[in-house]
Structure 1
Amino acid sequence: MATHGATMPGHDRSKRPTKSEEDDDDDPVEKLLKKAGCLDQHYAVQECMFDNKDWTKCQNQVKEFRECVERSQKKKK
């Protein structure tokens, strides 16, 4: 799902997530990722994007996040 130009709450790549944002259970995306056990991988992608400003330099983090989500989905089946 691409949201070109639109950002979701808690997904601002222009800054690192703060501790309060990390603990914010009001974000439905973060709730789902936490339940799936993939929130740390999600934050690793965000931090890499913040540090590099280039998603192509974050392929290891993206791969780990994708694999975590896939494992979580397989557990549900």
Structure 2
Amino acid sequence: MATAPSPSPHKRSRSEDEEDDPVDSMISKTGCAELHYALQECMAEHQDWRKCQAEVQKFKECMTSYQNSRNEQLMKQRTTST
């Protein structure tokens, strides 16, 4: 009995991936999505995270900036609500 081949995950569009992947959705909200994709592409190309340190650092800095900004917003909300 022959079964139909499963669709290749590489043929899906990025928008479909974002809808299906909660991690992609969360990263998109940070404003760091393009850096995340660049890091993923580097990792796919080199198969070694050590060769992608520039991309790792840029993504880390973006996420740190987002987290600091988010923490400041939360602190302001707490001080204005008390």
TM-score computed with the length of structure 1 as normaliser: 0.70
Aligned length: 60
Q: Deviations over 1:46-76 (max 9, x none)?
A: 1001111111000000000001100110111
Over the aligned positions, Cα root-mean-square deviation in angstroms equals 1.6
Partners of 1:57 and 1:26 in 2: CA distance: 29
Unaligned runs of 5+ in 2: 1-9, 72-82
Structure that is richer in helix per residue = 2
Say if 2:64 is the partner of 1:64: no
Greater Rg over alpha carbons, structure: 2
TM-score computed with the length of structure 2 as normaliser: 0.66
Q: Percent identity at matched positions?
A: 42
Of structures 1 and 2, the one scoring higher in RCO (CA 8 A, sep 6+) is 1
